[in-house]
Amino acid sequence: MREYIYIFLATHLVKSTERMIIVSLRSDVGIDLGTSSILVYVKDKGVVLKEPSVVAIDQYTDKFLAVGEEARQMLGRTPGNIVAIRPLKDGVISDYEITERMLRYFIRKSIKKSFFKPRIIVCVPSGITDVERRAVVEACQHAGAIKTYIIEEPIAAAIGAGIDITEPDGNMIIDIGGGTTDIAVIALGGIVVNRSIKVAGDECDEAITKYIRNKYNMMIGERSAETLKISIGSVYPPEVERFESVKGRNLLTGLPMTVDVSTTDMLEALRDPIDEITEAVHSVLERTPPELAADIADKGIVMTGGGALLDGMDKLISERTGIEVKIADNPLECVAIGTGKSLEWLKSIEIANPDSNVNMR
């Protein structure tokens, strides 16, 4: 009898040791799968990769020529056989095959060599459908994940901003990314009220392009519009007028031309998309339970994402809602950091759900 006990203990010890070795060698990964950029968080290392979600492909050979920043530099500059594309649109996968290959490239670049496939948590907009959610999971599985989990952007953004989402008090988060704006009221670790709209940074770029075309009869590219937005973009009347020169093609003559664009121009150009965002914020507040609304009035609203850095965005929302608005520290990486911090919960999640991919909602 004693021999059987020794054999059982020895077997159990070996299995436990093997499990500990696998866990120590495996790299758990958190991915902020953004329309404009992809951020990768590796457990115990932090954010190790931040690249534009752009791929340049040779159409004749179907070969990847560049990925990330190098591919972004090619937007609007490629010859006929090379195409620079964004495989993600409005926060979801628009080209499954290219997204899978891009994810595989970024995962390998982030974790270098590893004996074991990583477990991955991917951040997605709160408004995506089950089909879109399943596409993200399958793309990660085919890209090399042993198991894939889903976390919604408002939850990840709140965690990354340092908010304790487990408290019963209400917290309101606004995450303005490249393809979507997610607005949510969070309490007791879950989303109480939320809205996700497909109006964000990319829509602002398109609005700037349209405004320059209508006012100056000049066509500018996607990168030029983004540069204007970052350098002099404003959604609130600025104290000092600023100017930025932009080059493009004259629509009347077809020749290159240069114009000086002002912050007042940007204010007018961005009016429509910003109005849609503020209306979405208002609609979420209207549907928020009174007790949580009182908490939000006391604590204020937290903004994350690249759109939070748009000049005057916090002042505008504060003026229209009557609630103080705070911009999170490091808003560009908030979602990635929150996704990465949730990696610490994987052990308890797997115990509760040993046989399935889990949606952390």
3-state secondary structure (DSSP) of residue 97? helix
Q: Decide if 100 contacts 126 (C-beta within 8 A).
A: no
Residue 354 pLDDT greater than 60, yes or no: no
pLDDT of residue 351: 37
Distances (CA, A) of 189 to 252, 270, 331: 56, 34, 21
Q: Is residue 352 part of a domain?
A: yes
Eight-class DSSP state of 32:
E
Distances (CA, A) of 26 to 20, 21, 22, 215: 10, 9, 6, 55
∠ CA 258-259-261, rounded to 5°:
140
Residue 102 pLDDT greater than 70, yes or no: yes
- Same domain for 212 and 254? yes
More confident residue, 11 or 235: 235
- Same domain for 109 and 253? no
Beta strands in 55-140, from DSSP E residues, in sequence order: 55-58, 63-67, 82-85, 88-89, 92-93, 119-124
- Same domain for 178 and 291? yes
Least confident stretch, 13-17, 208-212, 327-331: 13-17
Length of the chain measured in residues? 361
Residue 26 pLDDT greater than 90, yes or no: no
Q: Is residue 250 part of a domain?
A: yes
Least confident stretch, 12-16, 37-41, 42-46, 168-172: 12-16
Q: Render 175-233 in DSSP notation, one character per residue.
A: EE-SS-EEEEEEETTEEEEEEEES-SHHHHHHHHHHHHHHHHSEE--HHHHHHHHHHH-
pLDDT in tens, 48-99: 999 999 999 988 888 888 888 888 888 777 777 888 888 988 878 888 889 9
Q: Is residue 212 part of a domain?
A: yes
What range defines the domain where residue 322 resides? Answer: 165-199+273-332
Residue 299 pLDDT greater than 60, yes or no: yes
Distances (CA, A) of 3 to 8, 12, 13, 17: 9, 14, 15, 21
Q: Is residue 78 part of a domain?
A: no
* Residue 275, C-beta contacts closer than 8 angstroms, at least 6 positions apart: none
Residue 346 pLDDT greater than 70, yes or no: no
- Same domain for 215 and 313? no
Residue 25 pLDDT greater than 60, yes or no: no
Output the average pLDDT for the chain. 85
Q: Which long-range contacts (CB under 8 A, 24 or more apart) does 356-360 make?
A: 357/137, 357/147, 357/148, 357/149, 357/150, 358/149, 358/150, 359/133, 359/149, 359/150, 360/121, 360/149, 360/150, 360/151, 360/152, 360/155
Q: Of 271, 287, 314, which marks where a domain is finished?
A: 271
What's the average model confidence in pLDDT over 143-149? 89
pLDDT of residue 116: 79
Q: Is residue 4 part of a domain?
A: no
pLDDT of residue 258: 95
Residue 27 pLDDT greater than 90, yes or no: no
CATH number, domain containing residue 118: 3.30.420.40
| Pairing of the two strands 46-52 and 243-250 | unpaired
Distances (CA, A) of 229 to 51, 59, 266, 322: 19, 32, 7, 26
pLDDT of residue 113: 65
- Same domain for 14 and 143? yes
Q: Which helix (H) or strand (E) holds 62?
A: none
Residue 356 pLDDT greater than 50, yes or no: no
C-alpha 18/C-alpha 263 separation (Å) is 61
pLDDT in tens, 240-276: 899 999 999 999 999 999 999 999 999 999 999 999 9
Residue 8 pLDDT greater than 50, yes or no: no
Q: How many CB atoms neighbour CB 195 within 10 A?
A: 17
Least confident stretch, 63-67, 104-108, 114-118, 216-220: 114-118
Q: Of 250, 271, 292, which marks where a domain is finished?
A: 271
Q: Is residue 83 part of a domain?
A: no
More confident residue, 346 or 285: 285
- Same domain for 105 and 35? yes
pLDDT in tens, 163-194: 988 889 999 999 999 989 999 999 988 899 99
How many domains are there within the chain?
3
**Could you tell me the pLDDT band of residue 347, with boundaries at 50, 70 and 90?**
low
- Same domain for 28 and 111? yes
